[in-house]
Homo-oligomer: A and B are copies of this chain.
């Protein structure tokens, strides 16, 4: 039945061979001692945690769900024990500063860790999912006793954290939020207001919860420039219960093991983090990390769907296929993996999964380079790349993950609709990833309107140059390079036309973002194919493994290159009139 097998060999192919990350580590500040073997060991341990401890809680946790009584949430059976093992293993602190108790390992490995956690149990992973962002915020903005009290506990994961942003009338538009913070004489603040959609707003896994809350000071200007950030714990340092309360939890489509809370702050005590009215900037530190984290969720969904679909299709026998592999016996019925329509779906899932992993890890590597590369020029370039890639990956990967899972469900036929086969849960769990941490439509506006166009496409051009350098292979890579060129021209045309039609970039943004994703996916396959070809030519390693990579690269060229074309057609179509809806 449903299983999660850590894709360690594929991960190492990307990390060691495609990205050649271990070769770069010795020169990077703080990674001097790290090598491929150590990284492999970390991933193997993480994989064991994900598949042996976490995955068994996934299906049962969905059926049981969270329960709420008198403000307290009970998580599904096994969640608390799994979290204890997670903290004891030191996993929350994997990529944190050793000075704060972290292990100082690369973001790249942290990304791989979270891919596996989500693949094994997305709902559970919601609880530690925000820890790293909270760590970043406290690491940068907390000082004195506040830092001493909260940073070590959040770094180690001993206390979990929340992000309290959304209010019922203020979701994508945080400028509308109303929660108020009034200063007290002792330097603390009294926070009053209601928040919704707070993941882990209450839970029974940690003895305290560190809420990070956006609220307005009395003298705050309206809109987004009047929002401040506060730390507001469930239990105060003196041991009294703070007036931060979980009023109820939502009945959701999926992630039923994750307590999505309605929170009320009723004069709750909190402390300012960072400067007054600059809470959004502080929160965005957390948000960017969170967006890449959500992209890794998509990655986890895609991998989990793909590996389970392959296993099911190999095993399920139904009807005769029109053709069979050489040597396969002709029985009354064949494995459904022989049927052309299923083969197409299975190759598509695999091709997208493996190239998506290259994109994700490229981006995580860029974060490491930005923070630790000895060359300032490389640091800046990596930072620019990560900035552009973050919205692309958040939207593109979550879309691939959810619709990949949804299409994959059909491979199970009617069984796909039944809970015990696992795939329907994945479809439900994955849907939210397209929405939270900034909807995918907002990512597209962020990419196109805020990041590509304002500098005349210069930084975006540099990203395309970098991508082009990844597929410098032979003639086979020509189409991928042409795709990048077509993208360059599409952006230039958009820029030119936007002069007379300011709304155009908004109309084109969604398709342009997906076009970028598709073009990069093609580059990822060219890069992986070049590596595989090299290994095969040199007679190194497992030939079957590398031949399959080459087949997948060819599948991408033959069957999936139309996706980019379609997106570019849609970007051009966006010049058309788009009337307002008459009845509004």
* Minimal Cβ-Cβ distance residue in B for A562: B569
Q: B253, A318: Cβ atoms under 8 Å?
A: no
A578 with B441, Cβ < 8 A, contacts A319-B172, A333-B173, A584-B335 known? no
Binding site secondary structure of chain A? helix
Q: Please tell me if A428 contacts chain B, counting CB pairs below 8 Å.
A: yes
Q: Please tell me if the beta carbons of B418 and A509 are within 8 angstroms of each other in the complex.
A: no
This protein's copies in its complex: 2
A502 on the interface (CB 8 Å rule)? yes
Do A507 and B340 have beta carbons less than 8 Å apart?
yes
As a 0/1 sequence over residues 160 to 175 of chain A, the CB contacts with chain B under 8 angstroms (1 = contact) are 0000001001111101
Q: Determine whether the beta carbon of B435 is less than 8 Å from that of A413.
A: yes
Q: Which residues of B contact A173 (CB under 8 A)?
A: 318-319, 333
Other-chain residue from B166, B324, B502, B569 in contact with A565 (beta carbon distance below 8 A):
B569
Interface status of A503 (Cβ within 8 A of chain B): yes
Q: Which stretch in A11-19, A295-303, A343-351, A458-466 binds the other chain?
A: A343-351
A583 and B5 alpha carbons, distance in the complex (Å)? 15
Give, as a whole number of angstroms, the nearest-CB distance from A140 to chain B: 27
Q: Which of A75-83, A362-370, A419-427, A532-540 contacts B (4 or more CB under 8 A)?
A: A419-427
Residues 304-341 of A contacting B (Cβ, < 8 Å): 310, 313-314, 317-319, 322-325, 332-333, 335, 337-341
**Within 8 Å of chain B (Cβ to Cβ): is A439?**
yes
Chain B residues whose C-beta falls within 8 Å of the C-beta of A237 in the assembled complex: none
A95 interface residue (CB < 8 Å to B): no
Partner of A344, one of B339, B569, B578: B578
Known contacts: A338-B584, A558-B577, A562-B573. The answer to whether A171 contacts B413 by CB under 8 A is: yes
Q: Is A354 an interface residue (CB 8 A)?
A: no
Distance in Å from the Cβ of A216 to the closest Cβ of chain B? 14
Chain A interface residue count, CB cutoff 8 Å, equals 94
Convert A513-546 into 0s and 1s, putting 1 for each residue whose CB lies closer than 8 angstroms to a CB of B: 0000000000000000000000000000000100
A residues whose Cβ falls under 8 Å from a Cβ of B: 63, 166, 169-173, 175-176, 196-197, 222-223, 250-254, 310, 313-314, 317-319, 322-325, 332-333, 335, 337-344, 346-347, 406, 409-410, 413-420, 424, 427-428, 431-432, 434-436, 439-441, 444-445, 502-503, 506-507, 509-510, 544, 547-548, 551, 554-555, 558-559, 562, 565-566, 569-570, 573, 576-584
